[in-house]
Amino acid sequence: MKMKTIISLLIISFFTTCAYTQGPCSKGEKVGPALQFRADLEANTLKIYTLGGLKPSNHKVDEAFQKKYSVHYYDFGCLAPGNMEFYNAYNLLVFEHLKQQWTKEWEKDIKDNAMGFYNWTQEKITNSICFLVK
């Protein structure tokens, strides 16, 4: 079931690649969140994009999370990126990856301002309820 979710997200993201402009690490070519996620996973450079306050923050607690789960926070500070859909979709792929690797353990430690995390948790709850009702 978990693998099906990741595969579904990768397929959806792959087909929407052209809808996105540049990804954060591309060199001029169009890169979608699934391609960026795959490249970052292979290079062991997964990121979780966050929106913060007046200045980006990276506290000691965050450092422990990043080390334990092999991800890095990228905080935009108070300036939201122009391509929010890209970063939200990328984060969803990272969340699914963490769920597959660590089940729910990581969810209690993630930063509150991780882009898309709240919606991802709500979608999981909705999917669980729908599954129970069927």
The pLDDT, as a whole number, for residue 100 is 94
Write the CA distances from 39 to 24, 25, 78, integer angstroms.
12, 10, 27
Residue 26: is its pLDDT beyond 60? no
The pLDDT, as a whole number, for residue 4 is 60
The pLDDT, as a whole number, for residue 53 is 67
Higher pLDDT, 14 or 113: 113
